[in-house]
Structure 1
Amino acid sequence: MTTPDHQSPAPDSSAPHSRDRIYRSPAGLAAGGLLLAIVLWLGIDALVFGHGRTPWLALAAMILVIPLVTAFTLRPAVYANEERLRIRNPFRVIVLPWGSVAAIRSGYSNEVVATSGTKYQLWAVPVSLRARKKAARQHTRATTQTARPGARGRTGTAPPVAAGPTRAQTDQIMEDLRELAETRRNAEHAQGEPTVRWAYEVMGPAVAGAVVLAILLAAG
């Protein structure tokens, strides 16, 4: 599941201001926090109480693992406003003006297709087949209770339907993004080419940790 939030973008004199809608995965945030706590606990314990090469191995492993855990759990986010869609994936940041978005698709993964044909996955909006099935069951139950002969009581009103979503939350998010893309595609300030930036702030420490760890292991 993914929850939206709101955040004002940094001032930009070259484009009109609009408020970002931010989508992130609560499950990813929770898992990332738990994993980081475990890594720090084990790593600090090895640094303090380890002997010989153990503290150095623990330090190198932490330098490698912490950026990777952060990249795949805490970092992913999707920012959408009236001008563009910004996708922050584990190792890249993709900015697509709405005029450059050809399609927003949902299947076994959620992705955006640029007019050039390039596909970009939305890591922050993962597909949950379990949530889809649950929402489908709720929708079927609600439809059946409403359409069932004799469903209305003496008051002439239909009995209450059990509360619950009739659509998976991530599917609703994708529908909102599609609607935004359709309405803003031809807007003057929503034109331009996609840009992609590699997240060297994540990749650099991870590579450094991997190199140090490999050297320590090779040195025996």
Structure 2
Amino acid sequence: MHRYSVTDPEPRRCILPFAAEPLQLAGLRRAVKAELAAWGMSALADEAQLITTELASNVIKHVGQGSAATLVLDADADQLRVELHDSSDKEPQRLHPACDEESGRGLQLLAALAATWGTTPTAAGKAVWCELPLTPDETRRRIQRATTVMETYGRAVGSPAARLSHRPALEESATGLVLDLLHWLTAHGLDPDDILDRAQLHFEAEVGTFG
């Protein structure tokens, strides 16, 4: 894997050409983490590494294992932009989760993590891109944490994450999660009604603040 980094002057850019192979993904994540640390953006490393895994896994599965691809990181004062360039003009496909952590967790996760994302045609194929704000607000942090919990819960009860993009499946899974949590609170001697009331008060206060 070759690495080309431009860190001075601003904006900062890192270009990482790689072969779309499962064994390349760990090294790609390490390179992303190292580059963001050099830029003073370590707070975004976990999200950027997760997005990198998702985008690269999509190339492996839908463009072809071993195909040439390039990861590009661009940073300015407000955000980090992550781009994955490949040689196919096909729109990216939503991935089905698998036990292998390298398989990606679905482009619905990309939408939850990123402020914006999309696909841009290029002369050689396409680029899938997303933008991460350098200072995500508390509402986005809560949504990101909830997305992770819902995906984990969906796997635990046997509901594929792909189904969670449909409203009925979302409602069913969310209801089941809340019901399990109420049982958990009761088993630990806590008052579920009190917890729900407090959560509702906090939610209304935050909606009033951020909305």
Q: TM-score, normalised by structure 1?
A: 0.26
Q: Report the structure number with the largest CA radius of gyration.
A: 1
Structure with bigger helix share is 2
Q: TM-score, normalised by structure 2?
A: 0.26
